[in-house]
Amino acid sequence: AQSVTQPDIHITVSEGASLELRCNYSYGATPYLFWYVQSPGQGLQLLLKYFSGDTLVQGIKGFEAEFKRSQSSFNLRKPSVHWSDAAEYFCAVGALNFGNEKLTFGTGTRLTIIP
Amino acid sequence: DARVTQTPRHKVTEMGQEVTMRCQPILGHNTVFWYRQTMMQGLELLAYFRNRAPLDDSGMPKDRFSAEMPDATLATLKIQPSEPRDSAVYFCASGPTSGDTQYFGPGTRLTVL
């Protein structure tokens, strides 16, 4: 069964500082990996996704993530955070085979930005 | 800008009442998902459909929950009877036939007293 672990429940970062959110997955085949962001009272918005190819993927809002198969990780990074980045971030893994389009989400990491 | 819409956005009801939540997927999307989000359990997949046919509802309590797609533009999630433990935010998401990204609606916040 596929699973996702986000080891950090809550992270606090100063505005302008760099950010890395950790994500580890467990999946028997080549995974499809996603990062979503959820602002308070809102639905989830896709930041970026990895299906194949270049292991460093660029997303919206200046975010990027790197797929490392040897470490079963897909960490999210941003070189300089903005106050508007405060939100909850979810990593997800899926098979996306026809007939098995389910995603499994991690428990999320809440990001707080301090001035 | 195509979006998934959900109604109602907020619902407060009393235990034992029927609750119906509605979702309009993005036009052209053939897969529809229902999730429940709580502090304790996080995001849980309840059910999903492809081309209006249910493919997996193993995450849904069968005795009180039901999910349907009466047509391609409407998905419904019903709870009858509702219980306080059903209090959560319920999200609908849709995606294209080939899988790929799921696009989430704003959610329905349900409170069962």
| DSSP states of B32-95 | EEEEEEETTTEEEEEEEEETTEEEE-TTS-TTTEEEEEEETTEEEEEESS--GGG-EEEEEEEE
- The share of chain B scoring above pLDDT 70, in percent, equals 96
Q: Name the average pLDDT for chain B.
A: 92
Query: So what's the pLDDT on residue A98?
Result: 57
| Whether pLDDT at B13 is above 60 | yes
Give the mean model confidence (pLDDT) for residues A73-89.
Answer: 97
Of B35, B17, B111, nearest to A108 (Cα)? B35
In this predicted structure, the answer to whether residue A72 has a pLDDT above a threshold of 60 is yes
pLDDT above 60 (res A99): no
pLDDT at A44 over 90: yes
Averaged pLDDT score across all residues of chain A = 91
Average pLDDT over residues B103-111: 95
Provide the pLDDT confidence category of residue A95 given band limits of 50, 70 and 90: confident
pLDDT category at B55 given cuts 50, 70, 90 is confident
Q: Tell me what pLDDT residue B98 has.
A: 58
Q: Which of A32, A36, A101 sits opposite B31 (nearest CB)?
A: A101
Q: What is the mean predicted confidence (pLDDT) over B85-104? A: 87
Average pLDDT of the residues in A5-19: 96
Q: Is a pLDDT exceeding 70 seen at residue B42?
A: yes
B106 → chain A, closest CA residue: A43
Please name the member of B48, B91, B100 whose beta carbon is closest to the beta carbon of A102: B48
pLDDT at B97 over 70: no
Which chain B residue is nearest to residue A98, measuring alpha carbons?
Answer: B98
Within an 8 Å CB–CB cutoff, is residue A5 touching chain B? no
Element (H, E) at A109: strand A109-114
